[in-house]
Structure 1
Amino acid sequence: MLRRFIPRYYSTIEIMSQIESAKKLAAYKAVDENFPKDAKVVGIGSGSTVIYVAERIGQLPNKDDFKCIPTGFQSRQLIIDNKLHLGSIEQYPDLDIAFDGADEVAPNLDVIKGGGACLFQEKLVASNAKKFIIVADYRKKSQILGSKWTQGIPIEIVPNSYTTIIRELFKLGCKKVELRQGGKAKAGPVITDNNNFLLDADFAEIENPKELHEKIKMLVGVVDTGLFIQMADKAYFGEEDGDVKTWESKK
């Protein structure tokens, strides 16, 4: 039994190390190729790949010349830990560039985000940036949204509207919807940085993400959806073989 167990154990370790290496390669290349030399305000997103984005930005020699805007608690800590200068979207609403991760990315750079529960603030920062860069590993590439990220579209909502919105989502063709729970660490729903609830709505493969986003956004009580439509300019993917692939928007 022991002989059969050990190879599988080390295989798992190697796979995880490979994924982390892919994330780091993509993050470093994204920063190196896109960070403006004269940047004054920079958005820092959230997620496991953005850890390396913040790390790389923290290595820049001119890091005292710009402010970094977080999309939530985790990215705020990344900014502080890498000795970058923290700002807020209220102080600096015009961003030169923003970097963030993704849960799933289609070839036209439509994206599903919000798996880490920072949905609204991520979209606010991205929408105010002159350039929006997605950084991820090879597992996030998809030919059609909803085919790989099967947990459902994250939807941030006003708390007391969840029953009504769930009913309306089924009318729009939703297959399954869940109020995201806090897990073992918290009894009850996840609370976002803006004190809202999150729904995860499974529409299976999404043929028209723009139309679906607009329909959901119109529901009373919806703050925003995790469908980031025609927002990203480039996406960097760390590959299994150590290469970094780039997808570029044609918008």
Structure 2
Amino acid sequence: MATSTKNATEKSPIELAKRAAAFAAVDAHIRPGDKVIGIGSGSTVPYAVERIAAMGKAANENRFFVPTGFQSQNLILDAELDVTVDGADEVDSDLNLIKGGGACHLREKVIAESAKTFVVVADFRKESKVLGEKYTKGVPVEIVPFASARVLSALRALGSTKAALRMAKEKAGPVVTDNGNFCVDAPFPESMMRDPSALLHQIKFITGVVEVGLFTNMCEAAYFGNEDGTITIQSLDGSKEANIKVDL
């Protein structure tokens, strides 16, 4: 316990905020009877794993954990997860999300949609009223490489005049997803981002689009870690609980 406290005090305020949000989400949504649990790939997720591990061997020995990078051909397509915990690049006031900053949004969406309960953990910088307010890079769109020119043209015609392939930082060429596809970042005007469900469907109709980093009507609750160490819980019914303290 002393080691855990020491490690916590050495973390930055942002990391402590993420940790508090993740701990609260796990405490509220991962129950003793939950046996199949989805684990996302956001920067807050390792803290959720830490909290799950702290439940002990007896609690976890019969559980099956499905990460978004899981390679098995038998994934979970015929099974329903009890709960999925993941991060987000941005969360609006209606619990719509932008995900895909790490170009993993196809697998993240599969895991999220396969769960009875999908909750998000993030720090306070990810909370906004309208998507695109905080995450300004644009909507992540995974596309088939062969169709890249066609998709970019269609996205620009739709309203994302600055849509562009995401380029790799450590090598020449575009980012390649875990599925062998390209990723486009497509900024849209605020007027279109105010209805993310409609925008999602418009983008999905473009031939060559594999998946879109807009997650709508999926998230049950979002847990935001605040700079002062407290958390804020935003629920699907519009209610919000603030200044909640979490034992780290």
Bin for the TM-score computed over the shorter chain: 0.7 to 0.9
Bigger helix share: 1
Task: Give the Å deviation of 1:148.
Answer: 1.1
Partner of residue 180 from structure 1, selected from 152, 161, 166: 166
Partner of residue 12 from structure 2, selected from 12, 17, 25: 17
CA distance in 2, matches of 1:157, 1:231: 22
1:101 aligns with 2:101: no
1:193 aligns with 2:190: no
> Which sits farther off after the overlay, 104-113 or 171-180?
171-180
CA distance in 1, matches of 2:85, 2:211: 19
Task: Give the Å deviation of 1:94.
Answer: 1.0
Task: Give the Å deviation of 1:93.
Answer: 2.8
1:175-205 CA distances to partner (integer Å, 9 max, x unpaired)? 311101111x222111111111100000032
CA distance in 2, matches of 1:161, 1:56: 42
1:123-149 CA distances to partner (integer Å, 9 max, x unpaired)? 000001000000000000001011111
> Which sits farther off after the overlay, 217-226 or 173-182?
173-182
Q: Percent same amino acid at aligned positions?
A: 46
1:209-229 CA distances to partner (integer Å, 9 max, x unpaired)? 111000000111111100000
Which runs of 5 or more structure 2 residues have no equivalent in the other structure?
1-8, 239-248
Aligned residue number for residue 203 of structure 1: 188
Write out aligned runs for 1:105-120 (5 A).
105-120=91-106
Partner of residue 39 from structure 2, selected from 17, 34, 44: 44
Aligned residue number for residue 4 of structure 1: none
Write out aligned runs for 1:1-251 (5 A).
17-61=12-56, 62-72=59-69, 89-90=75-76, 93-183=79-169, 185-205=170-190, 206-250=193-237
Aligned residues: 226
CA distance in 1, matches of 2:234, 2:76: 31
Which runs of 5 or more structure 1 residues have no equivalent in the other structure?
1-13, 77-85
CA distance in 1, matches of 2:41, 2:74: 15
1:34-83 CA distances to partner (integer Å, 9 max, x unpaired)? 1021111100001210110111112222111111101127xx9xxxxxxx
SS at match of 1:162: helix
Cα 1:90/1:35, change in 2 over 3 Å: closer
1:72-99 CA distances to partner (integer Å, 9 max, x unpaired)? 27xx9xxxxxxxxx99624763100000
> Which sits farther off after the overlay, 173-182 or 124-133?
173-182
CA distance in 2, matches of 1:154, 1:192: 12
SS at match of 1:130: strand
TM-score, length-scaled by structure 1: 0.85
Letter in 1 for 2:13: Q
Q: Do the aligned partners of 1:23 and 1:136 also contact (CA within 8 Å) in 2?
A: yes
TM-score, length-scaled by structure 2: 0.86
* RMSD value, Cα: 2.1
Letter in 2 for 1:244: I
Aligned residue number for residue 3 of structure 1: none
CA distance in 2, matches of 1:153, 1:93: 29
